[in-house]
A and B are shown apart, each in its own frame.
Chain A
């Protein structure tokens, strides 16, 4: 009995040390881990397309290559058509705002705040200066991080490379991983993979398609309302939609601020709010139930806390990845506990 206990202790110690080494190693190579995670998510999203090509008689390699050719084509078209527009809008944002009515509007808000909140010590806010500064900084940040960062170029080369091999050989990787599992846990490991593939895969694909639809709706709505940076706002709203709860609000908020600054009044802002409310309603009522259905069912509070924790720990990327990661943990823990209780899976 004592020998059995000490054996278990040795096993636990060994696996704990192994886990600590793995965590330390992964933290040391965190930038590569990030690239692999992003690539894995992209491979997940693109997997059904590769399956579709395969079902038309192509081999896995040629199906993956075909998808890359199509994506390259789409990126090429976007580069020619959309990037000049996006770049123009970011540059214009970088130069700051100078319409007179914006200055009038901001100073009017400042006067209102000073006269009503003077008891709180609110004096000389210099809102316009601060706003212009932050706008220029935002523009710089976007220019620096989105358009011409050196690390981005490395990522742009590495990510497609990793995605290609994950898509082409993903099944072999999974099979190799399962093959090293002990006989007792091998079927359960495959079962977990199956659950993760269906639930997390559906969630990611759903979110991705949802983001594209919301982005298109937003671009169209902002163009219709007459907002100056309609394309930039639409793209931002679509991407922000990938982050539950915070994304749609942030997208709408950016549009409202830009529309106020553009016109100096609230009328356009009101139209923008109505447009985003309609988009959100449409998204919640039609797009989400159809596209994001069958994915991981998580309590809204869990999602909210996961997004907050992800944001706190790893910034925007953390917010983006928090839901799939928590979903992954949920599936693993849920299935593990359920099967432990129901079928009595015992430790070897």
Chain B
């Protein structure tokens, strides 16, 4: 009997290991029920990128966030040609574009062949209209994620200020 339940849960686990598991790693979707996750999966766009293919360029219209299902993506500044971050499976980027209309502030390039899931503003707005409960859940989590990022940026600014103060102290 226990073997049966073990296999049963393994089966459930295997099912979860796919796209659902990746979505559950994203803070924006973490508190969603399985039914709500299915709704999200239906509105996601899946795109395949080849190695070194540009996902979006700095200055392009930003419409939403990308979730990496497979592969590695580099975020880089076009002018300085320097890599800001290297993201892998389960990571996400571009979530700010879900809220504002500003152009992309950096470029994203696939370092290896990649499969991305795209969650865009028109679909989010549509979702808010037809399923306000789910829409507000996502918006709340999105606000939380951006708040967390702001906190970490504040910490970094504080550290930098301390370093700068120390340096000016030394030179004086």
Beta-carbon contacts of B46-58 to A below 8 Å, as 1s and 0s? 1101000111110
State the total of A-B contacts with C-beta under 8 angstroms: 53
A193-B122 contact given A51-B130, A184-B54, CB 8 Å threshold: yes
**Chain A residues within an 8 Å CB radius of B61:** 187-188, 191, 339, 343
Query: Which residues from chain B sit less than 8 Å from chain A, CB to CB?
Result: 43, 45-47, 49, 53-57, 59-61, 63, 103, 118, 120-122, 126, 129-132
Minimum distance in angstroms from B28 CB to a CB of chain A: 19
The answer on a CB contact under 8 Å between A183 and B55 is: yes
A186 is an interface residue with CB less than 8 A from chain B: yes
**Chain B residues within an 8 Å CB radius of A51:** 126, 129-130
From B43, B103, B132, A55 is in contact (CB under 8 Å) with B132
Instruction: Write the chain A residue with the least CB distance to B97.
Output: A187
The answer on a CB contact under 8 Å between A183 and B53 is: yes
Q: For window 171-223 of chain A, which residues contact chain B by CB distance below 8 Å?
A: 171, 175, 178-179, 183-184, 186-188, 190-191, 193-194, 197
**Chain A residues within an 8 Å CB radius of B53:** 183
From A55, A175, A194, B63 is in contact (CB under 8 Å) with A194
CA distance in complex: A133, B41 (Å): 64
State the main secondary structure of chain B at its contact with A: mixed
Interface contacts beyond A197-B122, A339-B61: sample of 13 additional A-B pairs, CB < 8 Å, sorted by A = A51-B129, A51-B130, A54-B131, A55-B129, A171-B126, A183-B47, A187-B56, A187-B61, A190-B45, A190-B63, A343-B59, A343-B60, A344-B59
Minimum distance in angstroms from A254 CB to a CB of chain B: 39
State the main secondary structure of chain A at its contact with B: helix
A342 is an interface residue with CB less than 8 A from chain B: yes
**Chain B residues within an 8 Å CB radius of A188:** 60-61
CA distance in complex: A157, B54 (Å): 47
The answer on a CB contact under 8 Å between A55 and B47 is: no
Minimum distance in angstroms from A334 CB to a CB of chain B: 13
**19 residue pairs from A and B, CB less than 8 Å apart:** A48-B129, A51-B126, A54-B131, A55-B132, A171-B43, A179-B46, A183-B47, A183-B53, A183-B55, A184-B54, A186-B47, A188-B60, A190-B45, A191-B63, A194-B121, A343-B59, A343-B60, A344-B59, A345-B60
Minimum distance in angstroms from A189 CB to a CB of chain B: 10
A343-B103 contact given A183-B55, A193-B122, CB 8 Å threshold: yes
Q: Which 6 A-B pairs have the closest CB atoms?
A: A54-B130, A194-B122, A51-B130, A343-B59, A51-B129, A187-B63
The answer on a CB contact under 8 Å between A186 and B54 is: no
From A190, A194, A342, B103 is in contact (CB under 8 Å) with A342
Instruction: Write the chain A residue with the least CB distance to B133.
Output: A55
Minimum distance in angstroms from A190 CB to a CB of chain B: 6
Minimum distance in angstroms from B75 CB to a CB of chain A: 16
CA distance in complex: A186, B49 (Å): 12
A186-B45 contact given A54-B131, A194-B63, CB 8 Å threshold: yes
Minimum distance in angstroms from A176 CB to a CB of chain B: 11
CA distance in complex: A48, B130 (Å): 9
